[in-house]
């Protein structure tokens, strides 16, 4: 999980840009009529997001021609995103590209390792059409995270996944992702959530839901498997090192990883290896 600053885009400017190239005159008129409400919509979203309250926004499953706000329908909002912001030949595509380009090191902030190639609607546009082109609701993501989350909606504070733009710093600076080594002929890594003392029940629930929603346990295990092979090969070259020296080396690497991203799979992996006696005493050679 990686922190991001809020996009430096003006919601009303993005909305009006998308609306200006809508070819259907009736749809364009419906969207233009609600354009003056865009700043209020953006402010409402941000106020709730900062206070971890986006779950409280009413939602429903809209049919394409159901009216969402004013006279604008779900189809109007959906097409505003799919046909104006996403299509490469449209002027508003520049906002889509700009939002993706903001991903830290071009990596997905939800998982921290996938390539950010698309935009995810934090509040799914199928159930929250009004936020379909709101910059604050659009997060650069990898396709795996986008498909894992799908259109799931939180109905309580603890049900929410983490929001890279708005959630408190402690979610990103305090360590909650951990791992354990499964010993054996083919050692593997299991990842799990263990939050620091003093966290609220909602905060703990949110982290666990984020971990589960994006299937991070299984996805991190795949990445760690390859790294485990590489670490074993590297340590085998320095076979003269004793267990204490190997522990110190792994601990130092864990500290480096934690200084970069406290909740990366690499931080959890190296920390788990550095405290495993079996592994440091030769288990890495299997």
Position with higher pLDDT, 90 vs 286: 90
Collapsing DSSP states into helix, strand and coil, what is residue 122? coil
pLDDT tens by residue, 198-252: 999 999 999 999 999 999 999 999 999 999 989 988 888 766 678 898 999 999 9
Task: Count the Cβ atoms, other than its own, within 10 Å of residue 16.
Answer: 15
* Rg (alpha carbons) of the chain, rounded to whole number: 22
Query: CA 104, CA 73: separation in Å to the nearest integer?
Result: 35
102 Ramachandran zone, left/alpha/beta (phi>0; psi -120 to 50): alpha
For the chain, give every domain's residue range: 11-149, 170-285
pLDDT tops 80 at residue 151? no
pLDDT tens by residue, 50-82: 999 999 999 888 999 999 999 999 999 999 999
The dihedral through the CA atoms of 247, 249, 253, 255 has a sign that is positive
CA distances from 99 to 128, 197, 249 (A): 20, 35, 39
pLDDT tops 70 at residue 286? no
Nearest to 218 by CA among 277, 265, 282, 169: 265
Nearest to 140 by CA among 114, 160, 120: 120
> If you average pLDDT over every residue of the chain, what do you get?
94
Burial class from Cβ neighbours inside 10 Å (0-12, 13-18, 19+) for residue 4 reads: middle
Dihedral pair phi/psi, residue 192, rounded to 5°: -155, 165
Q: Look up the pTM and report it.
A: 0.93
pLDDT for the residue 233? 86
Nearest to 13 by CA among 127, 94, 103, 86: 94
Q: What percent of the chain has pLDDT over 90?
A: 86
SS3 content of the chain, % helix, strand, coil (to 5): 55, 10, 35
pLDDT tops 70 at residue 93? yes
pLDDT tens by residue, 34-53: 999 999 999 999 999 999 99
């Amino acid at each position: 999980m990686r922190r991001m600053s809020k996009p430096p885009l003006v919601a009303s400017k993005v909305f009006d840009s998308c609306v200006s190239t809508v070819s259907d005159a009736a749809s364009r008129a419906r969207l233009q009529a609600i354009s003056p409400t865009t700043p209020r919509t953006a402010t409402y979203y941000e106020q709730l997001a900062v206070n971890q309250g986006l779950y409280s926004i009413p939602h429903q499953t809209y049919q394409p021609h159901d009216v969402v706000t004013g006279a604008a329908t779900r189809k109007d909002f959906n097409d505003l995103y799919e046909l104006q912001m996403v299509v490469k030949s449209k002027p508003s595509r520049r906002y889509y590209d700009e939002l993706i380009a903001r991903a830290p090191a071009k990596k997905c902030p939800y998982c921290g390792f996938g390539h950010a190639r698309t935009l995810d609607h934090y509040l799914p546009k199928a159930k929250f059409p009004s936020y379909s082109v709101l910059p604050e609701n659009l997060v650069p993501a990898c396709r795996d995270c986008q498909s894992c989350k799908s259109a799931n909606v939180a109905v309580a504070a603890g049900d929410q996944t983490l929001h890279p733009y708005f959630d408190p710093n402690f979610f990103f600076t305090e360590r909650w992702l951990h791992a354990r080594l499964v010993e054996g002929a083919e050692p593997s890594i299991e990842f799990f959530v263990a939050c620091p003392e003093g966290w609220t029940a909602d905060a703990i629930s949110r982290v666990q839901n984020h971990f589960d929603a994006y299937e991070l346990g299984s996805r991190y295990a795949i990445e760690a498997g390859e790294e485990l092979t590489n670490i074993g090969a590297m340590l085998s070259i320095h076979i003269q090192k004793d267990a204490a020296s190997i522990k110190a080396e792994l601990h130092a690497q864990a500290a480096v990883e934690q200084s970069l991203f406290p909740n990366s799979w690499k931080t959890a992996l190296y920390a788990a290896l550095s405290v495993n006696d079996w592994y440091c005493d030769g288990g890495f050679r299997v």
